[in-house]
Structure 1
Amino acid sequence: MPSSVFAALRQLHAATPPRLSRFALRPPKAVIFGRRHVGIMSAEPIGNYGVRILFDDLHKTGIYTWDYLYHLGSHKFTLMRSYIKTLKKYGLSRDPQRRN
């Protein structure tokens, strides 16, 4: 797997929400935040089609196609900038909330 694709795998949590409305007053439920340190526990190839990824927060929904992973790797900086901009728009952060 190309290194650019592997580097983008950690962005999968944030890469799959539906498009955001410009007029939304609050964040859609699909905006994932507080997950800066999410890692990958395992990746299971699904034939020649793609891969099922198990993240360390136990998120494992979906199969990611090789084309989609390539897209994430090829556009990782643009996608991450867009994600961070969305977080800022709603006053959210990639950092986990601190517990008192």
Structure 2
Amino acid sequence: MVDAAAPTEIRLKRAERVLEVAFPDGARYALPAEYLRVESPSAEVQGHGPGQKTIVAGRREVGIMRVEPVGHYAVRLVFDDLHDTGIYSWDYLRRLGEEQAERWAAYEAELAARGLSRDPPPRRRT
């Protein structure tokens, strides 16, 4: 893996719920909002140490409301489920792109093993 330089482009496609990220070496990734949400680098998702990662279910329809710069090294993504504590460094965005297939397969397997779904729970009628 290359030590990630700053992306040359970060484009939020709200309607498609995708964040497109391009790097100086030509690598380009289309990262779905759901994937970015369930792989958030926040302590809420990753925990505070090895083996503490939380499986986040029910986020199939999540979107990204804003992409906020954090210095010259990262962005903060604000999701429409109000999660906003993850700081996505350039290196982490690159890894998410490079490892997308493997991470996504592991996520879906973990959901299945726990009897969880990507779909949000049904809304209760009042």
User: What range is the shorter-chain TM-score in?
Assistant: 0.7 to 0.9
CA apart distance, 1:12: 2.3
Unmatched runs of 5 consecutive residues or more in structure 2: 1-20, 23-27, 41-45
Q: Percent identity?
A: 42
Q: Which residue in the other structure is 2:71 paired with? A: 47
5 Å matches for 1:1-100? Answer: 1-2=21-22, 3-4=28-29, 6-16=30-40, 17-18=46-47, 20=51, 30-99=54-123
CA apart distance, 1:97: 1.7
Q: List, as ranges, runs of 4+ consecutive aligned residues in structure 1 with deviation greater than 3 Å.
A: 16-20
Unmatched runs of 5 consecutive residues or more in structure 1: 21-27
Which letter maps to 2:114? Y
Q: Structure 2-normalised TM-score?
A: 0.64
Q: Which has the higher helix share?
A: 1
Question: In angstroms, what is the RMSD of aligned CA positions?
Answer: 2.1
Which letter maps to 1:12? L
Number of residue pairs the alignment of both structures matches? 92
Question: Which string of whole-angstrom CA distances, capped at 9 and with x for unpartnered residues, describes residues 68-97 of structure 1?
Answer: 001001111111100000000100010112
- The verdict on how the C-alpha distance between 1:58 and 1:48 changes in structure 2, with shifts beyond 3 A counting, is same
Q: Structure 1-normalised TM-score?
A: 0.78
Q: 2-side partners of 1:8 and 1:75: how far apart? A: 13
> Is the contact between residue 34 and residue 59 of structure 2 (CA under 8 Å) also seen in structure 1?
no
Q: 2-side partners of 1:7 and 1:31: how far apart? A: 18
Q: 1-side partners of 2:32 and 2:121: how far apart? A: 24
Residue 37 of structure 1 aligns to a residue whose secondary structure is: coil
